[in-house]
């Protein structure tokens, strides 16, 4: 899967899964726009990619604002002359302090949908005219295994990720006649800042996890839920994204690929 000469945007690429995706695409030769609202860690990712000999630029991006995702696309075109891949990865678990609440409040619902759903919609709307006119493009949206099965406690997050899958299918159908593939990836259990917050929530709100560190909570979840018996990594997701963003996946669109060690077998 050679990405030499191609350009990708990865939103929420300053850390965690987004960073892993950006590094994997760069490793395969793609120029990468690191689109994130958090400048300092984003620029660290840019430097890491550039040190490997691949092009990378930072673009301050708030995916909840259409003008900002428009600017993100413009930055890619101005910097590299073309845009081949959009990875809508930016996501949140809830509003600030969500890990301290036993059930999501209205602010959590608003925050998850603003970033996890409308952020994807904004990103797609910002690239679709360019990709449609060109007759080529790959869009990969990062959903979650949480979007496959509803659970109490983080219903707002799960619902937003279910919506991300549906949005992916809707635009896959719309853009297919224009040579554009749209797919989703559903990560499983990955140790990220989001899971740190989830672990904090469970250790404080759930009796069976009382007294456990967030990492211990996470490791128990992996042991209980993952048939392959191991946690997933940002690199695992990066490999899946790289495949779906490549021409080897030219006949795949409208799909949601689980990268979860077998949590959901569908």
**The tokens of 133 are what?**
């006119």
Contact at 8 Å (CB) between 26 and 4?
no
Contacts of 4 (CB under 8 A, 6+ apart): 29, 30
**The tokens of 162 are what?**
């279910």
User: What gap in Å lies between CA 145 and CA 40, rounded to an integer?
Assistant: 30
Intra-chain end-to-end CA distance of the chain, in Å: 26
User: What gap in Å lies between CA 111 and CA 245, rounded to an integer?
Assistant: 28
- Phi/psi of residue 104, each to 5°? -65, 140
| Max CA pair span of the chain | 56
User: How many degrees, rounded to 5, is the angle at CA 115 between CA 46 and CA 38?
Assistant: 30
Alpha helices in 91-154 (DSSP H): 106-116, 118-134
Backbone region of residue 74 per phi and psi (left: phi > 0; alpha: psi in -120 to 50; beta: other values): alpha
User: What gap in Å lies between CA 83 and CA 254, rounded to an integer?
Assistant: 20
Active-site residue, 80 included: no
User: What gap in Å lies between CA 104 and CA 102, rounded to an integer?
Assistant: 7
User: What gap in Å lies between CA 204 and CA 206, rounded to an integer?
Assistant: 6
- Give the active site residue among 80, 130, 136, 157: 157
Catalytic residues: 157
């Amino acid at each position: 899967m050679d990405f030499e000469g191609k350009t990708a945007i990865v939103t929420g690429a300053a850390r965690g899964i987004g960073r892993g995706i950006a590094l994997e695409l760069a490793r395969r030769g793609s120029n990468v726009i690191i689109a994130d609202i958090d400048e300092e860690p984003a620029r660290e990712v840019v430097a890491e990619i550039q040190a490997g000999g691949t092009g990378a630029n930072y673009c301050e991006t708030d995916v909840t604002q259409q003008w900002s995702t428009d600017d993100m696309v413009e930055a890619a075109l101005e910097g590299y002359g073309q845009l081949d891949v959009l990875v809508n990865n930016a996501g949140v678990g809830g509003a600030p302090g969500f890990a301290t609440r036993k059930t999501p409040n209205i602010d959590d619902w608003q925050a998850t949908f603003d970033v996890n759903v409308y952020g994807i919609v904004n990103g797609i709307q910002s690239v679709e005219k360019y990709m449609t006119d060109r007759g080529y493009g790959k869009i990969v949206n990062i959903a979650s295994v949480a979007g496959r099965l509803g659970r109490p406690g983080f219903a707002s997050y799960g619902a937003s990720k279910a919506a991300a899958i549906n949005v992916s299918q809707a635009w896959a159908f719309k853009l297919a006649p224009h040579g554009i593939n749209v797919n989703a990836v559903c990560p499983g259990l990955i140790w990220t800042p989001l899971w740190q917050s989830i672990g904090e929530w469970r250790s404080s709100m759930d009796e069976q996890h009382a007294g456990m560190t967030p990492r211990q909570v996470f490791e128990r979840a992996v042991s209980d839920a993952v048939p392959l018996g191991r946690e997933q990594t940002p690199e695992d997701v990066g490999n899946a994204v790289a495949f779906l963003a490549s021409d080897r996946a030219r006949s795949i669109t409208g799909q949601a690929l689980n990268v979860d060690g077998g949590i959901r077998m569908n």
